Amino acid sequence: MRQGAIYLLTDRPDRSAALETLIKAIGQCKVVGSSEEAVGYTKPCAIVSDLTLTRREAVSRLRAFIPHGKAAEIPLICLLRSTSDRDLRLARDLGATVCFPAYTAPHIVVNALLDQIGPDESDPKILPVVQGVTRATEVLTGLFDGVRDGGTIALPQLDASLDPILSAVREGGLNRWLETVWTHDDATYQHCLLVAGVAAQFVLHLGFRTEDREHFVRSALLHDVGKARIPREILNKPGRLDADETTIMRQHPVIGYEILRDSGCDATTLGAVRHHHEMLDGSGYPDGLVGAEISDTVRLLTICDIYAALTERRSYKPPMPPRDAMAILESMQGKLEMRLVQRFGDAMLAS
């Protein structure tokens, strides 16, 4: 069992909230705001500094929390407002063991923290989850960045993240996966990771063969890749899109299909990406497919996609409880295959 708490020192508590959530998932976390002193303080097992180190008082506050003369023995992760040589030197002088830019995703910071302090015996299951989310995010980031610049997709790189996702959900459970992914800042990545996690739980529950599981999770991870070429102001707009914006947004399945076709992707994944917004009654898009024209993979993926979209966490809206999301899926009779919706509900309950 780890001795001492992980201290999170922050002068921007709003931005640190997601990091706090994730640190709490791996151990005891004490958050110290910008005006609090080291009163009642016990020796930390690690310190994460989210302070503006160019401010002298921030440096003094951080020093007050580092056990005297023992700096090198305590993992100290510094999130830096700038990564200039001066700031990096300052952080190293304070005993920083790892430095990240301030905007680094929380799970990457926590992954580094786990590397330094080891998983807590009280929750060894969080480790594969943090590793799985980190791996999948790296892959998604490379994928979206490459596609945004007009490139194609390196499918073998993507495939290397499928087993870590399935292992994370199998060993850590879907709830830990969702809690970790919900801390993600970027709405599109958060959504793709949610769909991938939910999809993994679904196929594990359905007892798919390894190869079929990976194939399905791959479709889930890729399904919205066309959004890489949708303007960010539309993607990240809080609230409803207007008619013109909706028209642009609705191009993403075809854009994704074309990117993947040019990348040499297989037909099942191509179909899943192009058709994940189709509905059995023909009311979906882009091709208005009806009934038997919609493959089983697409039927499964559409359910995962809608559920993930409903339960997403955004700064501007409260998350929808899973039970309410399931009620919406169940109300979509005629559009979704109800037999699969029921199996999906069972899979979520079993998580």
The interface with Fe ion within residues 293-312 (CB under 5 A) comprises 305
Q: Which of 298, 269, 275, 301 is nearest to 288 (CA)?
A: 275
Q: Which is nearer to Fe ion, 129 or 221 (CB)?
A: 221
User: CB 175 → Fe ion: shortest distance, Å?
Assistant: 21
> Could you tell me if 129 and 200 are in contact, meaning their C-beta atoms sit under 8 angstroms apart?
no
Q: State the Cα–Cα distance between residues 190 and 267, nearest whole angstrom.
A: 26
CA atoms within 13 Å, Cβ hemisphere of 322: 14
User: CB 254 → Fe ion: shortest distance, Å?
Assistant: 11
Q: Which is nearer to Fe ion, 176 or 223 (CB)?
A: 223
Longest dimension (CA), the chain: 71
User: CB 332 → Fe ion: shortest distance, Å?
Assistant: 15
Q: Which is nearer to Fe ion, 102 or 309 (CB)?
A: 309
The interface with Fe ion within residues 113-142 (CB under 5 A) comprises none
Residue type, 78: C
Q: Which is nearer to Fe ion, 4 or 286 (CB)?
A: 286
Token pair of 78 as six digits: 């510094």
Q: State the Cα–Cα distance between residues 131 and 191, nearest whole angstrom.
A: 18
User: CB 144 → Fe ion: shortest distance, Å?
Assistant: 14
Among 224, 278, 312, 337, binds Fe ion (CB under 5 A): 224
* Contact range with Fe ion by CB under 5 A, out of 19-27, 30-38, 220-228, 243-251: 220-228
Q: State the Cα–Cα distance between residues 189 and 172, nearest whole angstrom.
A: 20
Residue type, 250: R
> Could you tell me if 130 and 111 are in contact, meaning their C-beta atoms sit under 8 angstroms apart?
yes
# chain residues binding Fe ion, by CB under 5 A: 2
User: CB 98 → Fe ion: shortest distance, Å?
Assistant: 33
* Contact range with Fe ion by CB under 5 A, out of 132-140, 209-217, 218-226, 231-239: 218-226
The contact set with Fe ion (CB under 5 A) reads 224, 305
